[in-house]
Structure 1
Amino acid sequence: MRGRDEETGEYFSPSRSQNRRDALEVLALGEKLVALTDAQLAKLPVPESLLPHIRECRRITSHIAHKRQLAYLAKQMRREDDEVLEAIRDALDEDGEAARREVAAMHRVEAWRERLLADGDAALAQLLDEHPTADRQHLRALVRSALDERRKNKPPRAFRELYRALRELIVGGAANGDDIDEADESFEDDER
């Protein structure tokens, strides 16, 4: 029995139905994790203790044995803190906070690239005010090359290189830049 608080009338713990719904959500999350490749899994904040269980579940092909191993993985996942599971869900969720931050960073970099191409030295001066560590000559050369490519209808090599240089500068490179690599690649593919 769950028990009730005498004063407020609220239950002390969640109902069995709620516990079951929570367990099924964790099982569905486990199925998503098993379906991911190793590269995709490496980008997620999955605890090291769960990785052997995920690999074992992938290895098993027999339907019933796979289902049993998946249930065991879900049991191990339920032992983790709620914050860990929420972080995994957020990283998997396309509409999650992490995805929104990545898209916002990508748009910031794209906006700076377009400003540099449209306004030239005025935009470059403003960028250098905000980011004094930037290499003025390198950025100026990339802008000139990108404009030249546009004018001559050449492939956008310098255009992409300018994006990467700006991403390194604005987003912070190795600390956060890896987070938007996929978005960068898909954006570059769209421009072709």
Structure 2
Amino acid sequence: MTHMEEEKKSKTQAKKEMHDLQKLGERLSELSASQIDGMPVPDKLKEALHFVKTIKSHGARSRQMQYIGALMRDVDMEPVQTSLGLIQSGHKIDVAAFLETEKLRDRLLEDNKDALEEVVTRFPEIDRQHLNQLVRNARKESDQNKPPKSKKALFRYLKDFVDNENSIR
């Protein structure tokens, strides 16, 4: 067997690789436009990924996905898979931070002094007076059945500190 024959892939292996590329293309097509633009892929592939989002017909979408798979043959997939993994794991971190912030805000609004002390201890740089004012205003709005303007402001204020803490970790 010569060196050339060793490098030649079997037809089954080539089909499997094309199918895997098409699956990766499906995952890429589910990303938002800004996430697609941030991917390390050629512009032609980015355009194809943006275009597939506009297609409604199942057959046309299938053909476009095959085209995306063909374009991906010429692209080094390792950086693309790494970027995709980071995006997906980053989303999980964002959701966890969101839920944590929501829980902190709700505990503060329950008139819980322990929660206030916990927040001040956890974030020593937080402005205690401003925090108390936001909590007081949010409770007042809730009691008067007003729109939750201060509740949202409290959430954003806490989220800044939680996000900052998560970026340091």
Q: Does TM, scored on the shorter chain, surpass 0.5?
A: yes
1:71 and 2:63 aligned: no
Q: Which amino acid aligns with 2:84?
A: I
Correspondence for 2:148 among 148, 152, 156: 156
Q: Kindly state the Cα deviation for residue 160 of structure 1 after the two structures are TM-superposed.
A: 1.1
- Whether 1:25 and 2:17 are equivalent positions in the alignment is no
Gap regions ≥5 residues in structure 2: 2-8
State how far apart, in whole Å, the 2-side matches of 1:66 and 1:58 are.
11
Root-mean-square deviation (CA, aligned residues, Å) is 3.6
Alignment-derived partner of residue 130 in structure 1: 122
Amino acid at match of 1:164: R
CA-to-partner distance for each residue in 1:133-166, whole Å, 9 max, x for gaps?
A: 1121221111011101110111111111111111
Q: Distance in 2 between matches of 1:57 and 1:117?
A: 44
**Displacement of 1:40 after TM fit?**
4.5
Q: Which one of 46, 49, 54 corresponds to residue 54 of structure 1? A: 46
CA distance in 2: counterparts of 1:26 and 1:15, whole angstroms: 17
Cα pair distance change 1:153/1:58, threshold 3 Å: closer
Deviation at 1:100, TM superposition (A): 2.9
- Measured after TM superposition, the shift of residue 57 of structure 1 is 5.9
Is 1:113–2:111 an aligned residue pair? no
Q: Please give the secondary structure, in 2, of the residue aligned with 1:98.
A: helix
Per-residue CA deviations over 1:56-100 (Å, capped at 9, x if unaligned) read 565699x698567423322134x231x641541563xxxx54333
- Residue type of the partner of 1:169? F
Structure 2 CA distance, aligned partners of 1:59 and 1:50? Answer: 14
Q: Which residue of 1 aligns with 2:84?
A: 88
Counterpart of 1:25, as a letter, is D
Identical amino acids, percent of aligned pairs? 27
Residue 104 of structure 2 aligns with an amino acid whose one-letter code is: W
Deviation at 1:116, TM superposition (A): 0.9
State the distance in 1 between where 2:118 and 2:132 align: 13
Which of the two has greater helix per residue?
A: 2
Q: CA deviation at 1:113?
A: 0.5
Q: Which residue of structure 1 lines up, in the alignment, with residue 139 of structure 2?
A: 147
CA 1:98–1:17 in 2, change beyond 3 Å: closer, same or farther? farther
CA contact (8 A) 1:33 1:41 kept: yes
The higher-RCO structure (CA 8 Å, 6+ apart) is: 2
C-alpha change, 1:103 and 1:56, in structure 2 (3 Å) is closer
Give the paired residue count: 153
Amino acid at match of 2:140: D
Tell me: CA distance 1:123–1:66, structure 2 relative to 1, closer, same or farther (3 Å).
closer
Structure 1 letter corresponding to 2:81:
L
